[in-house]
Every structure is written in structure tokens, then in C-alpha cells.
Structure 1
Amino acid sequence: MIECRDLHMKYQSGHVTKHVLNGVDFVINPSDRIGLLGRNGAGKSTLIRLIGGVEMPVAGKILRRMTCSWPLGFTGGFQGSLTGYDNARFISRIYDKSYDQMRDFVEEFTELGSNLRMPVKIYSSGMRARLAFALSLAIEFECYLIDEVIMVGDKNFQDKCKAEFFEKRTDRALLLASHSLEMVQQYCNRAIVLNEGKALIYEDVQEAISVYQSL
């Protein structure tokens, strides 16, 4: 279970303060597959970064009782001067995983070939996303945080990502921020609509989609 209690988040830009989240409460249960909906700027990416531990809320708590991935779509954790292989080796040591197994999985899943021997700082955004996906899948988390990036790459790679998340890992929790209503409707069993800093939780995904479309 991952529990968000009264989360508040704001950003300062000069003399302007933007309150992105204002008292957000919800729970991600094991095997929950939650679609996160909201207009651009509603705070979807911010909420995912908070849950993933990339940022800290200005108020509130996040209680994690499941292992949680870093936000897929966030590649700030990579060391740009290191190669794809070196980043994989670094991650394997942090999580005490076999580097040989991780390397083999990364090679097969990313299809980046010799680019894995190149520094990550020269990768395109799509290449970095492929590497982030592969490394996250190689760790086998109990909850995955996905920020729209599942649609990166060609159809073959998109199908591979969908198979890994929605077919092979049906027992894992998932928080999916997406503008693809079709994907949310097809794969999610609950939904959250972020609007004006508040999180509206729906057990009926279609109802959540209707509310989102009315915003």
C-alpha cells in the first residue's frame, strides 16, 4: 500500500507562487491500476515525482509499504557522462541485482545495440526513455509510476511496453498519468482526476473520464 496524506505542493517563480497540490489524499492498494487524469499543469507529473521520492511535498506525508519505481518519464537519475551499460551497472549495485541478468534484459528490451556503450548525455529523449523502462522493469517493483512516456518509440516498442506492464505484471500496482483516455479505460480499474489542486477519486473509470472531459 502507498498512502498519500494531505499532500501540498507549491512552486515559487519570482514573486508568483503556484499551488499545484492542495490537500491530496488517496491510497494505492496492491494490484490497483489507477489512471491519473488532469489538464496540462494540473499536477500529474508533480504528484508522480512526489510518490517516487524525486521531490518532497511542502506539507503532508507519503507512506510507502510497497517497493516503488522511480517515475518512468523522469530520467534525471541517469549520470550523463556514463554509458548505458555503466548506468545499468550502477543501478544493479544499488538494488543488489545481478548485473549480468540486468545487462541481458536491457540489451534485449531497449534494442539500443552499440548505443549502450555511448554516454547517456548524447541519447535522444526516446533512447533515454527506453533505457529508463528497461532498468525499471529489470528491478521488479511492486508499484510502477508511469508518466505518459509509455507511448514513446515505434509501435513495436509500444507493444512491448504494454505487454510488460499490462500482461506480464497484472499483479503489480500501477499509477498511470496519461492523456490517452482509451488506455486508461482499457487498463485501469480506478481513476483520479486532478483539478485545482484537489484529487477526485473514482471507482468507476468511465465516470472519471466523463468528469475529466467536462473540465
Structure 2
Amino acid sequence: MIELKNVTKFYKTGAGKQYVLNNVTQTIPSHTNVGILGRNGAGKSTLLRMLGGIDFPNSGIIHSKNSFSWPMGLAGGFQGSMTGRQNVKFVCRIYGKSDHEINEAIEAVKEFSELGSYFDMPIKIYSSGMKSRLSFGLSLFFDFDYLIIDETLSVGDKNFQVKSKAALRKKIQNCNVLLVSHSMPVLQELCDAGIVVNDAKMHYFDDIKDAIAMYDDINKQRK
């Protein structure tokens, strides 16, 4: 379960405060795969980071006893001067993995990410897609209560996308997912419930189809 109590999140801009959420109270039930929808700039990724404890509200509280992965579509936690291999080893050590487990992780992530020789090159020369593939592969090696995914499933060619979805389907048999995506078929396939972020409010729906319907209505109104 994830609880939000009087949560407000904003950024200061030249035109004043830009609100992502404004005094939102909501409970997200346990054991639920949740899709997050909203127009560009609505704050989907910011909400995702806050739910996972990576970003924080300006006021209010977000509480959960669950463990969360890092955002699989983002790679802000990687060290740019280190290689993919070194980053995998570094993250594994942070999470207390043994030398044997670290070696297993290195081989698994290298194979899954399909980075080839780039796996032993500094991450700062990677494209955003390459970083996402490394992040995705590394996340699959750990056991979290929630996987946090920010558009990662659209990374790479069609074969890699198929492989990623298959790996994710297998993984979420034993965990849940918080997923930001613009692909309605992917959301319907992987998510039970949905959240729509709009006008600094967070609308929760027990059925992902209802969330998609609201999102469609918002887009129609703004055309």
C-alpha cells in the first residue's frame, strides 16, 4: 500500500509556481499493478519518482513499507565515468550482493542489455536508450515489491521490446509495477488500476480502462 496525505509538489518558474500535485490525499492498494497517464508536462514522471521515494513533495507525506526499484526508464543514478560493467558491480555492492551474485548479475545484465563492447565503455558516451537497457536489465536482477518503469518498454528495436515485455511479465508474477507509458495496449496488458495526473490532481481508478477513458476525454477537450 502507498499512502499520500495532503501532498503538494511544485516547481518555481518565471511565471510562478508550476504545480504537479496540489494537496492530494490518496491510497494506492497493495498487490496492484498501476499505470500512470497524463499529458506531456502533467507530472507523470515526477509522481513516479515520488511514489518510489526518489523525489519528495514540497509538503505532505508519502508513506509505504514496500521496496521500490529505481526508475527503469531513467539512469540518473549511474556514474558517467564508470563503464556499464563497473556500474552493475557498484550497484550490486550497495545492495549487499556477494561476489558470486555480482558475477551472475554482470553476465545477466550484459546479455540482456545487448550492449556488446559498449558494456565496457563509460556510460557518459551511451545514448539514452542504451542507459535504459542497462537500467532495465539491472532492475530485473533484484527483487523489489514494485518495479518503477518510465517508458522503458518503448526502448530499442521491436525484438528488444518483445524481450523486455516478456521479461517484465515474468517478473511481475512476484512483484508489482508502477508504469508510465503512452501506449494504451501496454497499459491494458500489464496494469490493473490507473492514475491520471491532470491539473495538479491525481485521479485513481480501480480499473485501468476507466483511467484510459478519462485520459482520452482530457485529450479531446484540449484539441
Q: Shorter-normalised TM-score: what interval? A: over 0.9
* Residue 57 (1) aligns with residue 57 (2): yes
* Aligned-partner Cα distance in 1 for 2:84–2:141: 14
Give the equivalent residue in structure 2 for 1:205.
208
* Residue 76 (1) aligns with residue 79 (2): no
Say if 2:42 and 2:198, in contact at 8 Å, map to a contact too: yes
Say if 1:68 and 1:143, in contact at 8 Å, map to a contact too: yes
Task: Tell me which stretches of 4 or more aligned residues in structure 1 moved more than 6 Å.
Answer: none
Which residue identity does 2:167 align to in structure 1?
Answer: E
Where does structure 1 lack aligned partners over 5 or more consecutive residues?
none
State how 1:39-118 maps to structure 2 within 5 Å.
39-97=39-97, 98-118=101-121
What is the deviation of 1:15?
Answer: 5.0
State how 1:1-215 maps to structure 2 within 5 Å.
1-14=1-14, 16-97=16-97, 98-215=101-218
SS in 2 for 1:108: helix
* Aligned-partner Cα distance in 2 for 1:171–1:102: 19
* Aligned-partner Cα distance in 1 for 2:37–2:50: 16
RMSD: 1.4
Where does structure 2 lack aligned partners over 5 or more consecutive residues?
219-223
Deviations 1:21-56 (A, max 9, x none): 112333344431111111111110110111223322
Deviations 1:166-211 (A, max 9, x none): 2342231111111111111222111111111111111122222111
* Aligned-partner Cα distance in 2 for 1:171–1:89: 24
Larger displacement relative to structure 2 (197-206 or 115-124): 197-206
**TM-score scaled by length of structure 1:** 0.94
What is the deviation of 1:12?
Answer: 0.8
Say if 1:30 and 1:171, in contact at 8 Å, map to a contact too: no
Larger displacement relative to structure 2 (140-149 or 87-96): 140-149
**TM-score scaled by length of structure 2:** 0.91
* Aligned-partner Cα distance in 1 for 2:177–2:170: 13
Which residue identity does 1:205 align to in structure 2?
Answer: I
Larger displacement relative to structure 2 (4-13 or 80-89): 4-13
Larger displacement relative to structure 2 (199-208 or 117-126): 199-208
What is the deviation of 1:114?
Answer: 1.4
* Aligned-partner Cα distance in 2 for 1:59–1:6: 7
Q: Percent identity?
A: 46
Deviations 1:137-188 (A, max 9, x none): 1112110111112110011211111112123422311111111111112221
* Aligned-partner Cα distance in 2 for 1:10–1:60: 12
